[in-house]
Amino acid sequence: MKTTRLWASAAAATLVLGIGSAMAGNAPGVSDTEIKIGNTNPYSGPASSYGTIGKSIGACWNKVNADGGINGRKINWISYDDGYSPPKTKEQVRKLVESDEVAFTFQTLGTPTNSAIHQYMNKKKVPHLFVATGATKWGNPKEFPWTIGWQPNYQTVGAIFGNYILQNHPNGKVAILNQNDDYGKDYVIGMKRAMGDKFDKMVVKTETYEVTDPTVDSQIVSLANSGADIFVNISIPKFAAQAIKKMAAIGWKPVHLLNDVAASVASTYKPAGIENAIGIISVDFYKDPNDPEWKNDAETAAWNDFMDKYYPDGDKLNKMNAYGWAVCHTMKAVLEQAGNDLSRENIMKQAANLKEVKIPMLLPGMFVDTSPTDFYPLEQMQMMKFDGKRNVRFGPLISAETE
Amino acid sequence: MDLFLQQTLDGLATGAIYASLALAVVMIYQAIDHFNFAQGEMAMFSTFIAWQLIAWGAPYWLAFVICLIVSFIGGMLIERIVFAPIHNAPVLSHIVVFIALTLIFNAFAGFIWEFTIKQFPSPFPSELPFETTLIGPHELGVVGITLVMLVLIYVFFRFTPVGLAMRAAAANPVSAALVGISVKKMLALGWGLAATVGAVAGMMIAPKVYLEPNMMLGVLLYGFAGAVVGGLTSPAGAVVGGFLMGVLENLAGTYIIGSDLKLTFALVVIVAVLLFKPAGLFGRVVVQRV
Amino acid sequence: MDNVRNHRSNPAEKFELFGVQLPKLRMMLLLIGIALALFLPLVVANFAVFQMTQVLVYAIAVLGLNLLTGYNGQFSLGHSAFYALGAYTAAIMIDRYEIAYYWTIIPAGLICFVGGFLFGLPALRLEGLYLALATFALAVAMPQLLRYEHFEAFTGGVQGIDVFKPDSPIPGLSADRWLYYFVLFWGVLLIIGAWNLVRGRTGRAMIAIRDNPIAARTMGINTALYKSVTFGVSGLYTGIAGALGAMVAEFVAPDSFTFFLSVWFLVGMVVGGLASIPAAIAGGIFILYMPNISESVIGVFFGNDPSAKALIWVAFGLFLIFTVYVVPNGLAGLVRRFVIRYAIRRGD
């Protein structure tokens, strides 16, 4: 008898909770003075270098709050460490949603980590906004209407490289170096998509590396030995710099296509040796604040001021801090657009209705653009070539629409 | 053939890096009879200290020497402050403290110096007197320094009274104390020296792989493996083990299994080696008295 | 037979703590523990239930490691690999073959038993650091193998596999609570199993091998067999934990099973205490909550200063060192010392 009552009260409790969260009106975590936003980032562990994104976004909210908030509401940014471990992400995000009662999550970082909460967020109908990963699967509004990505996806970049090779070096021999995880593999998938059956004919050698590998010297030697005259380099700055240096040391001089992740004068080319990096072709969608190209740019100056004031310990050489600034402004635009209707439905709706919104630090001419059927906010990029001082952009903004 | 030669030499160059850290591993093993998991992160931290000094304008060799001194004192302090109070705790508790130190050094370096990669200068000339693309001057220098360190450590443990006392204190603390060796001092000294050797290794490694808080993660893995394969009681064995790891992973990655499983392959080979030589290639087989 | 047992009464009955006989005190604590495990989830929120479930999962894994290290004296840094093997077995069975979740636990355990046994055979020749390296190699190789493109059809490669949380068959009971009781069922079963194992003939052999392998061999114990079997059983426990963990996380990916997971198991085991079954639960609690506490402490001291986030591991590391200072033999060791110090012998 006693147990039955207990079961019943437990059932009633679940029911009440269920109704509570489904009530209309503002989302949980929204009051007249505050909006609670949840986030996870790897602040510890081997992926902790990405943590600066979460830190710079936190600093950005500090600035937004100091400037009066959004429609009078201050942002309460709750960012937890997940150490890049999917089970921990699940725990932290459930804590954010069920215990801290955030209105939504924003810029949760990593592909495997976001995969772990993908189902959960959509079942719970909590906006899972502008995730910090370039996987393709975040833009699927039919099956996952509560999840949206932000940056141009990895496959797009891969496709841009694929098209470039087809147009400019149709008879080239291609060598690829990629990180052995979803990020590295997605670029290659994008290249395959763009090059079709030419891919197998033109690619003569593929090598991979693990993030824990001390060096990629051995891979570079193998790739150079393959006789390739085009090198597609899909690696993070540390390994990109090692590769550039090693190529110079062994005298391999192919056409070098470097992915956006490492396309930075300060954090890749300088450590690798500027003279070794001349001629590298890369692609990007936002301004590298250390590139002399943007020395007199007003947006870059504003970013510099922000870094000095709100994130003085942050490393200005790290362009991820500019990324954080840009994505923070995208979120700000959504909340401004949502006005005073801060229900989860409306926040999601506004995130999916950004019409050519101008965001600081994006390349000139670029916009954030979404619609209820287009969950890819950024799809354009521009190619550039390093001339020994700066990355000189060439050609138009390219968009490789993801089908 | 060219590829084979290049990969082998490259393997030796990377192997020198593993070997230099393996030496630090052997050093601490001789001194405290444990493997110190925090060794890699301590070396990374030492290297950052040198980098900071250079960034402030100190000449390379001054920074080098100061870094060694600071590391030596730091190593001793860690022993005195962190380990002396738990001297009698079980081995596994010590290992947990090693893990804790690893986490602390890693996170603290990230907090101070951030995660963008840093250039660390090489002390060696930028050009070789002869023309070759097979091996770079820094790589050759690291091989040389590693061999010099090996000789120094060998002589230290084999022929100096302090080195012998240190080995005695680690192998049999009670008997060592009975013949008048201060086990406490030996432990502290061992930590100090291991930290110093680690610092040299770090400063040799950083120019090649770039300095950042996670720099040692992979190197430690191979360095540890190299030291164990070579035999933890033998500095020469550790160096050979380190070189072997470097060559093995390159050749396996190039010819046998491809780069995405080369680490796995290298590890399988090591385990296989251990099955036939359980004390490592050059290790002394410890005969236990019943 | 009965007579003999009566004659050799439990010496612990002669001691009391807080005025209660030791065996009775232990029984009372056990009952309180069972009551808490059964009823606490009914009154706390779903999220807390989810965390408790994770604690149980980690506790089972730590228990598996403890059987190997605490009772048998073999060192392992490779248990994340067994955990991964169990998790992927369950995930593949559920996702690829649409087998009901409750049928996946035993296969996951058995596969890991076989895996552990086979790994235990060569590991026989290795001791101490050499065994540590071999198991370390296993842990490091696992994520690479899971990502390997020729296994992708099974493992899902870098993308991992979604596992859907089972629905509760009892109306009114939330899925989280159902999963908790499901995990609790397995946890209790495995704890009883471990308890019987270490108290029986096998357990005595395991402990004898740990304390003095040569003497154990002289007494006629087949050390090779026992060591391998212990490795297998340890793998079985950790594999079941992995399968349950996959259901709790609803997702498996290579990044979930890095070498660091092995480190956490080791930390949980040492903090809890070697050769103690309740210690495994303490270890599970430590693994789950301590990083969160470290994070909160940093939050309290530094507010929303973004740079301070980097200090979370510093705090965690300091806590860890502090814990070893206070309880060098783990929490179980502390309890043992407390009992020895304060238990009072009654007059006969």
Q: Residue C166 CB: number of other CB atoms within 10 A?
A: 16
Q: Which two tokens stand for residue A43?
A: 């602040």
Q: Which amino acid appears at position A265 of this protein?
A: V
Which residue is it, tokens 């009464």?
C9
**Nearby residues of B191 by Cβ (< 8 Å), 6 or more positions away:** B28, B31, B32, B75, B76, B78, B79, B83
Find how far residue B134's CA is from the centre of its chain.
Answer: 25
**Nearby residues of C326 by Cβ (< 8 Å), 6 or more positions away:** C334
Element (H, E) at A176: strand A174-179
Whole-number pLDDT of residue B257: 78
CA B27, CA B190: separation in Å to the nearest integer? 7
CA R_g for chain B: 19
**What is the DSSP secondary structure assignment for residue C170, as one 8-state letter?**
S
Residues of chain B in contact with residue A52, where contact means CB-CB under 8 angstroms, are 114-115
pTM (2 d.p.): 0.90
CA A230, CA A228: separation in Å to the nearest integer? 6
Count CA atoms within 13 Å of residue B283 on its CB side.
26
CB A230 within 8 A of CB A172: yes
CB C105 within 8 A of CB C240: yes
Does position C7 have pLDDT exceeding 90, yes or no?
Answer: no
Which residue is it, tokens 């160059």?
B13
Please judge whether A185 and C157 are an interchain contact, meaning their C-beta atoms are less than 8 angstroms apart: yes
- Under the phi-then-psi rule, with left for phi > 0, alpha for psi from -120 to 50, and beta for the rest, what region is A55? alpha
| DSSP string across A368-401 | B--BTTB--S--EEEEEEE-SSSEEEEEEEEE--
Range C262-285 average pLDDT:
92
Phi first, then psi, for residue C259 (nearest 5°) are -55, -30
Give the burial class of A369: count Cβ atoms within 10 A of its Cβ; 0-12 exposed, 13-18 middle, 19 or more buried.
Answer: middle
- Under the phi-then-psi rule, with left for phi > 0, alpha for psi from -120 to 50, and beta for the rest, what region is A251? left
Range B45-74 average pLDDT:
96
CA-to-CA dists, residue A245 to A220, A238, A251, B129, B209, angstroms: 10, 11, 10, 20, 10
Q: Which two tokens stand for residue C167?
A: 């629905």
Residue of B nearest to C70 (CA): B92
Q: Which two tokens stand for residue A229?
A: 């005259």
Find how far residue A163's CA is from the centre of its chain.
Answer: 22
CA A115, CA A186: separation in Å to the nearest integer? 15
The β-bridge partners of C187 are none
CA A74, CA A96: separation in Å to the nearest integer? 18
By Cβ distance, the residue of C50, C164, C174 closest to A94 is C50
- Which residue, B212, B208, B201, B237, is CA-closest to B36? B201
- For chain C, the distance separating the N- and C-terminal CA atoms, rounded to the nearest angstrom, is 24
CB C139 within 8 A of CB C269: no
CA C169, CA B65: separation in Å to the nearest integer? 69
Please judge whether A81 and C248 are an interchain contact, meaning their C-beta atoms are less than 8 angstroms apart: no
Whole-number pLDDT of residue B277: 80
Residues of chain A in contact with residue B209, where contact means CB-CB under 8 angstroms, are 214-215, 238, 242
CB C168 within 8 A of CB C110: no
Strands C15-17 and C344-345: antiparallel
Whole-number pLDDT of residue A19: 40
- Under the phi-then-psi rule, with left for phi > 0, alpha for psi from -120 to 50, and beta for the rest, what region is B57? left
Phi first, then psi, for residue A40 (nearest 5°) are -125, 145
Q: How many helices (H) and strands (E) does chain B have?
A: 11, 0
Please judge whether A214 and B218 are an interchain contact, meaning their C-beta atoms are less than 8 angstroms apart: yes
Please judge whether C313 and B106 are an interchain contact, meaning their C-beta atoms are less than 8 angstroms apart: yes
Please judge whether B263 and A238 are an interchain contact, meaning their C-beta atoms are less than 8 angstroms apart: no
Residue of C nearest to B218 (CA): C140
- Which residue, A301, A289, A264, is CA-closest to A391? A264
Which has the higher per-residue pLDDT, A1 or B135? B135
Does position C181 have pLDDT exceeding 80, yes or no?
Answer: yes
The β-bridge partners of A129 are A106
Q: For every one of its 403 residues, what pLDDT tens digit does chain A have, with 9 covering 90 and above? A: 344 444 544 444 444 444 434 445 788 999 999 999 999 999 988 888 899 999 999 999 999 999 999 999 999 999 999 999 999 999 999 999 999 999 999 999 999 999 999 999 999 999 999 999 998 889 999 999 999 999 998 998 899 999 999 999 999 999 999 998 888 999 999 999 999 999 999 999 999 998 888 899 999 999 999 999 999 999 999 999 999 999 998 899 999 999 998 999 988 999 999 999 999 999 999 999 988 889 899 999 999 999 999 999 888 989 999 999 999 999 999 999 999 999 999 999 999 999 999 999 999 999 999 999 999 999 889 999 999 999 999 999 988 654 4
Among C158, C252, C312, the strongest candidate for a mutation testing the A interface, having the largest count of A CBs within 10 A, is C158
Residues of chain B in contact with residue C130, where contact means CB-CB under 8 angstroms, are 228, 274, 278-280
Q: How many residues does chain A have?
A: 403
CB C23 within 8 A of CB C13: yes
| DSSP string across B15-66 | HHHHHHHHHHHHHHHHHHSS--TTHHHHHHHHHHHHHHHHHTT--HHHHHHH
* Mean pLDDT (chain B, rounded): 88
Whole-number pLDDT of residue C287: 92
By Cβ distance, the residue of B89, B228, B268 closest to C133 is B228
pLDDT band at C1 (very low <50, low <70, confident <90, very high): very low
By Cβ distance, the residue of A49, A209, A221 closest to B6 is A221
Q: ∠ CA(C203), CA(C208), CA(C210), 5° rounding? A: 95
The β-bridge partners of A104 are A37
**Nearby residues of A171 by Cβ (< 8 Å), 6 or more positions away:** none
CB C70 within 8 A of CB C274: yes
Q: Which two tokens stand for residue C321?
A: 């060192």
Q: At what angle do helices C46-66 and C278-302 cross, to 10 degrees?
A: 130
Please judge whether C256 and A55 are an interchain contact, meaning their C-beta atoms are less than 8 angstroms apart: no
In the stretch 108-127 of chain C, residues with CB closer than 8 A to chain A read none
**What is the DSSP secondary structure assignment for residue B136, as one 8-state letter?**
-
Residues of chain C in contact with residue A58, where contact means CB-CB under 8 angstroms, are 304, 306, 309
Range B238-247 average pLDDT:
91
**Nearby residues of B59 by Cβ (< 8 Å), 6 or more positions away:** none
CB A358 within 8 A of CB A377: no
CB C280 within 8 A of CB C58: no
**Which chains reach chain B with 3 or more Cβ–Cβ distances below 8 angstroms?**
A, C
Q: ∠ CA(C242), CA(C247), CA(C249), 5° rounding? A: 90
Q: Is the dihedral of CA C257, C260, C261, C263 positive or negative?
A: positive
C258 to chain A, any CB pair closer than 8 A? The answer is: yes
Please judge whether C250 and A77 are an interchain contact, meaning their C-beta atoms are less than 8 angstroms apart: no
Does position C124 have pLDDT exceeding 90, yes or no?
Answer: no
Find how far residue A350's CA is from the centre of its chain.
Answer: 20
Whole-number pLDDT of residue B254: 86
A252 to chain C, minimum CA–CA distance in Å? 29
CB C67 within 8 A of CB C198: yes
CA R_g for chain C: 21
By Cβ distance, the residue of C54, C172, C249 closest to A86 is C249
Q: ∠ CA(B277), CA(B280), CA(B281), 5° rounding? A: 80
CA C238, CA C59: separation in Å to the nearest integer? 9
